[in-house]
């Protein structure tokens, strides 16, 4: 006679587990285009890239995730209007041939009311964050 109560208990546990999964996944989100939050993130990253490429840039956003006071971005910089930037004509010069383009990765933290870059990489050829202890403390869902 205990079998039905065990089945009910197991079913209840599975239901709670299934309901908890979407809630855990909701921690990270992408700020919508045109929002002040997205603009603030792009504006925090823009000077870092502009000084390296030698002029104003726009970003094509490949990934932008925010969770709490942390954000992670994967961006492809381009000239305003959409023209490509030649990596060899940037500060990277001849080293550009060893890079995976100008794709920019940035880890940011919000402090004192603004977004601040705490780590970045331009043109990495691997998952540069793998094994870095800094990335063990960020919320799940930010990294690809």
> DSSP characters for 31-62?
PPTT-HHHHHHHHHHHHHHHHHHTS--EEEEE
| Domain count across the chain | 1
**Predicted confidence (pLDDT) per residue in 20-57, tens digit:** 344 344 599 999 999 999 999 999 999 999 999 999 99
**Local confidence band at 106 (pLDDT 50, 70, 90 cut-offs):** very high
Q: Phi and psi for 58 in degrees, rounded to 5?
A: -115, 160
Average pLDDT over residues 126-138: 95
Q: Is the pLDDT of residue 121 over 70?
A: yes
Residue 71: pLDDT over 80: yes
31 and 72 Cβ atoms separated by less than 8 Å: no
Cα 104 to Cα 60: distance, rounded to the nearest angstrom: 10
What is the mean predicted confidence (pLDDT) over 115-144?
Answer: 96
Token pair for 59: 């970003």
Compute the distance between CA of residue 7 and CA of residue 61 in angstroms, rounded to an integer: 48
The CATH code of the domain that includes 114 is 3.10.450.630
- Residue 85 maps to a domain: yes
The residue segments making up the domain with residue 100 are: 29-136
């Amino acid at each position: 006679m205990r079998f039905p109560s065990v089945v009910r208990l197991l079913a209840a546990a599975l239901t709670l587990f299934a309901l908890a999964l979407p809630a855990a996944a909701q921690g990270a989100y992408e700020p919508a285009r045109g929002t002040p939050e997205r603009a603030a993130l792009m504006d925090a990253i823009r000077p870092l890239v502009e000084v390296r490429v030698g002029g104003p840039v726009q970003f094509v956003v490949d990934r932008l995730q925010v969770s709490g006071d942390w954000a992670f971005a994967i961006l492809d910089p381009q000239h305003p209007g959409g023209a490509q930037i030649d990596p060899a004509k940037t500060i990277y010069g001849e080293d550009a041939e060893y890079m995976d383009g100008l794709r920019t990765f940035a880890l940011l933290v919000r402090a004192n009311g603004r977004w601040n870059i705490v780590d970045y990489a331009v043109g990495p050829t691997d998952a540069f964050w793998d094994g870095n202890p800094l990335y063990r403390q960020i919320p799940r869902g930010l990294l690809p």
